[in-house]
Structure 1
Amino acid sequence: MKIAIDGPSGSGKSSVSRAVASRLGYAYLDTGAMYRAACWLMLDRGVTDDDEVTALIRSAELEPGTDPDHESIAVNGRDVTTAIREDRVTSAVSKVATNLDVRTLLIAEQRRLIAEHAEPGIVAEGRDITTVVAPDAEVRLLLTAREEARLARRARELHGTADADSLAATRESIVGRDAKDSTVATFETASDGVHTLDSSSLTLEETIQAVMDLVADAHED
């Protein structure tokens, strides 16, 4: 079974996807981490021209881990799991994500990984998994939440609190990045056949259970 989960920043898709994959004994693919890894490489090599960035990524070996209980990703054999979460990568990742040639390269690799782990199953999450990468997935879900809920979650994750200063510091990384990425991917409204789950008023456990229920329904079908 293939499970595809899309959503904006702060919607909880990574936490939910990992938990669902772990409980089902499935592989897990964080496609956003692949874009971050590509961005890290771009910054590490000091490359800015779009064509040069594409050439760099084409020749690189990105190795995302698929164990939902152990986050990992390597670039050309170097572990960058922690490095891809640095502020400098977060600030620049949209340059890679909006490069259509890079997207083509990474989408092809994402499709390969999903096919490789389709048995017993895989949960893949990102921005365009339900519509572009795996539109044939048995379960397709758009996980969303109100902006204030997403900002508060990410502020607590990054700063340990959701006070006014933390929310202000987080806003650009959420709203700004979503605005840039929405120029190349649709992740704010569900396409035909894609379930929508608003997690604004749900706990993490309630959200996970809602997804598990969708999976159970798909198995029955």
Structure 2
Amino acid sequence: MARSGRCVVAVDGPSGSGKSTVSRRLAAELGAGYLDTGAMYRAITWAVLRSGVELTDADAVAKVAADVDLRIGTDPQGYHVTADGVTVDAEIRGPEVTGAVSAVSAVPTVRTMLVEHQRAIIDQLGRIVVEGRDIAGVVAPDADLKVFLTASAAARAARRSAEIAADVAATAEDLARRDRLDSTRKASPLQKAADAVELDTTELGIDEVVARLREMLNSKGVA
């Protein structure tokens, strides 16, 4: 059961599994907050690229991350991300940031700082859907519902390429690269938490996935 109205849903999974769309929709239906932790790493990556430091210089990357004034909204129907007062919603989804975010995310100090920030937001709201790659295992191990979304490589590439208007083959190659980096990094690698429910979304529509998550919450008495 949720504690005094608290309801934390952790949604993990690789890019293209549907976790962002599903998480926003679920949060809106629950009247809960929404936190895109990936956007936080992307915003830090944008700041690192703007600073001109080398991605391979972990100390320099960590310093940039520590100095950035990072702010992220939690409204599932219209959130914004700012870094040092600059709205970077569009910039963090561009190819330059996408190509560098795995390297920045792999820096342990960066992850430690952002996990602390993410936990503070969760504690403040109490009722929230959080999505990312290490939510159930690291950020919110006491979440009321833990879900790991998956999908076939082909489905993920098709979805992602449609989102960013890119070539499917090139997108598939980039997703494979990111999967490899995210799953092999030393700090909080992408993996399913032992007590998370795995759900394959390859043949499921958004409404179907959200409905299944609602059913899971109902069964736990935390709807």
TM-score, normalized by the shorter chain, greater than 0.5: yes
Identity of aligned residues (%): 42
Q: Which amino acid aligns with 1:187?
A: L
Aligned partners of 1:159, 1:53: CA distance in 2, in Å?
30
Q: Indicate the SS of the match to 1:170.
A: helix
TM-score under structure 2 normalisation? 0.91
Residue 190 (structure 2) aligns with: 187
- Counterpart contact for 1:98–1:183, Cα < 8 Å: no
Deviation at 1:220, TM superposition (A): 5.8
Residue 171 (structure 1) aligns with: 172
- Counterpart contact for 2:153–2:172, Cα < 8 Å: no
> Once superposed, what is the RMSD of the aligned Cα atoms?
1.4
Residue 99 (structure 2) aligns with: 91
Are 1:154 and 2:160 counterparts? yes
Aligned partners of 1:126, 1:136: CA distance in 2, in Å?
15
Q: After the TM superposition, which segments of 4 or more aligned residues of structure 1 sit over 6 Å from their partners?
A: none
Aligned partners of 2:190, 2:150: CA distance in 1, in Å?
9
Select 1:73's aligned residue among 55, 75, 81: 81
C-alpha offsets along residues 165-191 of structure 1, whole Å, 9 cap, x if unaligned? x22121232111111111233434x32
- Counterpart contact for 1:37–1:80, Cα < 8 Å: yes
- Counterpart contact for 1:142–1:187, Cα < 8 Å: no
Gaps of 5+ in 1: 161-165
Are 1:64 and 2:72 counterparts? yes
Aligned partners of 1:63, 1:17: CA distance in 2, in Å?
19
Q: Which amino acid aligns with 2:215?
A: D
Deviation at 1:21, TM superposition (A): 0.2
C-alpha offsets along residues 76-125 of structure 1, whole Å, 9 cap, x if unaligned? 1211111111110001111111111111111111111111111xx10000
Aligned partners of 2:63, 2:220: CA distance in 1, in Å?
40
Select 1:144's aligned residue among 133, 150, 155: 150
TM-score under structure 1 normalisation? 0.92
Kindly tell me the number of residue pairs found equivalent between the two proteins.
213
Residue 163 (structure 1) aligns with: none
Moved more, 37-46 or 70-79: 70-79
What are the equivalent positions in structure 2 for 1:110-125 lying under 5 Å apart?
Answer: 110-118=118-126, 121-125=127-131
Q: Indicate the SS of the match to 1:88.
A: helix
Q: Which amino acid aligns with 1:3?
A: V
Q: Which amino acid aligns with 2:120?
A: R
C-alpha offsets along residues 2-32 of structure 1, whole Å, 9 cap, x if unaligned? 0000001100000000000011110000000
Gaps of 5+ in 2: 1-6
